[in-house]
Chain A
């Protein structure tokens, strides 16, 4: 960085510094004249907005840390004291706790932008992966931060999430849990280490953001057309064009943020967190913060064990995918063998699933004590897998066209995927046994009895069949959709979608659009 030739500065002080440490040359190159595609739409604001939120979180967080006490006996009261007694403490706290939500809003839109316009594709794969790393670090930081006020939801949310690690076979319960908690349950030792990590991780995020931006400045930005700029006619200098556009977008975003901070500071939180933590009483309905809900739904959707039949079946299906879809021409297998794989894999997986649901069949190796992956561990794997898939996204989608504008099928797929994330988010917020629709088939009288809660009075042999659509099923269906977007739809589209003709250059497309609008 900053080793290239320097133009020099007129101001002698700036020149003195710059000739020794070319920081002004670097700023000028990376943020002044930096060539940026001229056709950005508003989606390209959210990187800068996310950066603004990160800085807001760090600055408010440092000051809050000066007033906070990390001790189970004092933490809750110290947070209340910040809100009530510290000068302007209510403002700092509201900025910080709503800032987390708005940081996630900005980052989720930023990620949607990346997927919709294919920004993750070569040569920007590493840029994208660094982004996923930032997202994971943000999730860890936000989760840990929510524990610090030491309310009921802090304690029990942390209990549920740290218990996930006990699902890791062999070492989870015995070694990882005590190491993580520093005791036998979430207690003072846990709170103090969480506070230390909550202070540390934002700076780690900042470092990875630096790498993320560095990688961005090597490849340059993607743009809504998804084609590379060919020359100066396709780009604009970053300043003043995009500094101003980012600034404007930031102000609009800040208005919304400020509205929450000043008028609805608790709208995105849980009332239960204003009850001091009590290790003897569990709140009736534990829900994570809204930004974790889709992943919480995926976690809870795995209510079945993965027995050997299912794993073998899924393995065969994976071989089929690799051989016949990802590789354009099958290398090792013939078409007939492919069909055999598909039938055998699908059959085994379905058989394993049915065997798990019907324990009365007593099929060997399907009892819950004999399965390699229990439902609990399966849920953990699915939840982390759902984020892990983002890491390999550049290789799951190998279609040469980036932008969804020129891929009509991909566009539909991305929108359906986005919708499924929202549905999962809703499912994550609801109790798992909530029934949305139910139909009673059979004896009319018996059905009426069930409806009035008198199921005990039904005569033997007249029991009706009750079909119910509950929250778990919704979560399972949309979890399946989430995973099939990555593992089935994207590889298939990469191979079979034809796509529209790309414009020859950015400036021609921009001028054509302008002419059309003028006519």
Chain B
């Protein structure tokens, strides 16, 4: 084979008289590099994946809450997955306010019905959807913003009594965590 005569010339690219051997070598080089890249990525994956939430962190994903002690008009803060969750006992007036809003006029269009299981209980993640601050408005004496729900002091987002964004920079409504009523006074979040 002509490749034999070419062994001394291994490092010279484009040796014109042996185009066939060069193509073969190029292909092998490409193949080897490709395997190197794939192997590198596979080796890196366990390292990167170890940085994802660990099993014990994931195991903290549910909490049970006794809601019997929350007076009307007030809310309780619960820690769930390291984040505050607001459980608000809404007054008749607040429910009416939330239901009366025309959905089409909202930034993030959701009716109050879609956001609650039982109208007197609003359960929402207490993290502003703008940049993650905790809005104020848990107590009746707090500043609750222009719409009677919550007010985020960081960049001035106003939420209504359904936890929907009404004014300010936040793009979305306060998130609703997955939850269920175990009985009338206990809920399970997560």
Give the interface of A toward B (CB within 8 A): 156, 159-160, 162-164, 178-187, 189, 193, 279-282, 284-286, 300, 303, 368-369, 374-376, 432-433
Report if B134 contacts A (CB, 8 A): yes
Inter-chain CA distance A513–B54, complex, in Å, is: 68
Inter-chain CA distance A159–B131, complex, in Å, is: 7
Q: A178-B53, A179-B52, A433-B156 are in contact. Are A282 and B82 (CB under 8 A)?
A: no
Q: Is the CB of A160 within 8 A of B133?
A: yes
Q: How far is the CB of B172 from chain A (nearest CB, A)?
A: 9
Q: Tell me the nearest residue of chain A to B128, going by C-beta.
A: A282
Q: Is the CB of A182 within 8 A of B57?
A: yes
Inter-chain CA distance A281–B154, complex, in Å, is: 11
Q: How far is the CB of A451 from chain B (nearest CB, A)?
A: 20
For residues 141 through 169 of chain B, which have their beta carbon under 8 Å from a beta carbon of chain A? 152-156, 169
Contact check: which of B84, B109, B152 meets A279 at CB < 8 Å?
A: B84
Inter-chain CA distance A300–B107, complex, in Å, is: 19
For residue A180, which residues in chain B have a CB less than 8 angstroms away from its CB? Answer: 51
Inter-chain CA distance A281–B84, complex, in Å, is: 9
Q: How far is the CB of B143 from chain A (nearest CB, A)?
A: 10
Q: Tell me the nearest residue of chain A to B48, going by C-beta.
A: A179
Contact check: which of A162, A185, A369 meets B82 at CB < 8 Å?
A: A185
Q: Is the CB of A156 within 8 A of B133?
A: yes
**Chain B contact residue count (CB 8 A cutoff):** 27
Q: Is the CB of B82 within 8 A of A280?
A: no
Q: Tell me the nearest residue of chain B to A368, going by C-beta.
A: B107
Q: How far is the CB of A206 from chain B (nearest CB, A)?
A: 23
Inter-chain CA distance A376–B107, complex, in Å, is: 14
Inter-chain CA distance A281–B135, complex, in Å, is: 9
Q: Is the CB of B171 within 8 A of A185?
A: no
Query: Chain B 87-126, CB within 8 Å of chain A: the 1/0 string?
Result: 0000000000000000000011100000000000000000
Report if B72 contacts A (CB, 8 A): no
Report if B79 contacts A (CB, 8 A): yes
Report if B132 contacts A (CB, 8 A): yes
Residue pairs across A and B with CB atoms within 8 Å: the count is: 81
Q: Is the CB of A185 within 8 A of B81?
A: yes
Q: Tell me the nearest residue of chain A to B156, going by C-beta.
A: A433
Q: Is the CB of B79 within 8 A of A182?
A: no
Q: Is the CB of B53 within 8 A of A281?
A: no
Q: Tell me the nearest residue of chain A to B61, going by C-beta.
A: A184
Q: How far is the CB of B145 from chain A (nearest CB, A)?
A: 13
Q: Which 4 pairs across A and B sit closest by C-beta, in order of nearness?
A: A185-B82, A184-B81, A282-B133, A163-B132
For residue A282, which residues in chain B have a CB less than 8 angstroms away from its CB? Answer: 133-134, 152-154
For residue A182, which residues in chain B have a CB less than 8 angstroms away from its CB? Answer: 51-54, 57
Q: A159-B131, A160-B154 are in contact. List 19 more A-B contacts (CB 8 A).
A: A160-B133, A178-B53, A182-B54, A182-B57, A183-B54, A184-B81, A185-B83, A189-B53, A189-B54, A280-B79, A280-B84, A280-B134, A285-B153, A286-B133, A286-B154, A303-B169, A368-B171, A369-B108, A432-B155
Inter-chain CA distance A164–B169, complex, in Å, is: 14
Q: Is the CB of B57 within 8 A of A189?
A: yes
Q: Is the CB of A183 within 8 A of B53?
A: yes
Q: Tell me the nearest residue of chain A to B80, going by C-beta.
A: A184
Q: A182-B53, A189-B53 are in contact. Are A159 and B132 (CB under 8 A)?
A: yes
Q: A182-B54, A183-B82, A187-B82 are in contact. Are A284 and B130 (CB under 8 A)?
A: no
For residue A185, which residues in chain B have a CB less than 8 angstroms away from its CB? Answer: 81-83
For residue A193, which residues in chain B have a CB less than 8 angstroms away from its CB? Answer: 51
Q: Tell me the nearest residue of chain A to B165, going by C-beta.
A: A368
Q: Is the CB of A279 within 8 A of B82?
A: yes
Q: How far is the CB of B115 from chain A (nearest CB, A)?
A: 17
Inter-chain CA distance A375–B155, complex, in Å, is: 13
Inter-chain CA distance A433–B52, complex, in Å, is: 37
Q: Is the CB of B57 within 8 A of A281?
A: no
Q: How far is the CB of B55 from chain A (nearest CB, A)?
A: 12
Q: A368-B171, A376-B130 are in contact. Are A183 and B57 (CB under 8 A)?
A: yes
For residue B81, which residues in chain A have a CB less than 8 angstroms away from its CB? Answer: 183-185
Q: Is the CB of A284 within 8 A of B84?
A: no
Contact check: which of B48, B52, B153, B171 meets A374 at CB < 8 Å?
A: B171
Q: Is the CB of A376 within 8 A of B171?
A: yes
For residue A286, which residues in chain B have a CB less than 8 angstroms away from its CB? Answer: 133, 154
Inter-chain CA distance A433–B169, complex, in Å, is: 11
Inter-chain CA distance A164–B132, complex, in Å, is: 9
22 CB contacts below 8 A, A to B, read A156-B133, A159-B132, A159-B133, A178-B52, A179-B48, A180-B51, A183-B82, A184-B82, A184-B83, A186-B82, A187-B82, A189-B57, A279-B79, A280-B79, A281-B134, A282-B133, A282-B134, A282-B153, A284-B153, A285-B154, A286-B154, A375-B169
Inter-chain CA distance A186–B84, complex, in Å, is: 12
For residue A281, which residues in chain B have a CB less than 8 angstroms away from its CB? Answer: 134
Interface centre among B48, B130, B152 (most CB of A within 10 A): B130
Q: How far is the CB of A149 from chain B (nearest CB, A)?
A: 19
Q: How far is the CB of A147 from chain B (nearest CB, A)?
A: 14
Q: Is the CB of A160 within 8 A of B54?
A: no
Inter-chain CA distance A154–B60, complex, in Å, is: 24
Q: Is the CB of B169 within 8 A of A184?
A: no
For residue B169, which residues in chain A have a CB less than 8 angstroms away from its CB? Answer: 303, 375-376
Inter-chain CA distance A303–B169, complex, in Å, is: 7
Q: Is the CB of A280 within 8 A of B77?
A: yes
Q: How far is the CB of A369 from chain B (nearest CB, A)?
A: 8
Q: Is the CB of A179 within 8 A of B154?
A: no
Inter-chain CA distance A376–B132, complex, in Å, is: 12
Q: How far is the CB of B6 from chain A (nearest CB, A)?
A: 31
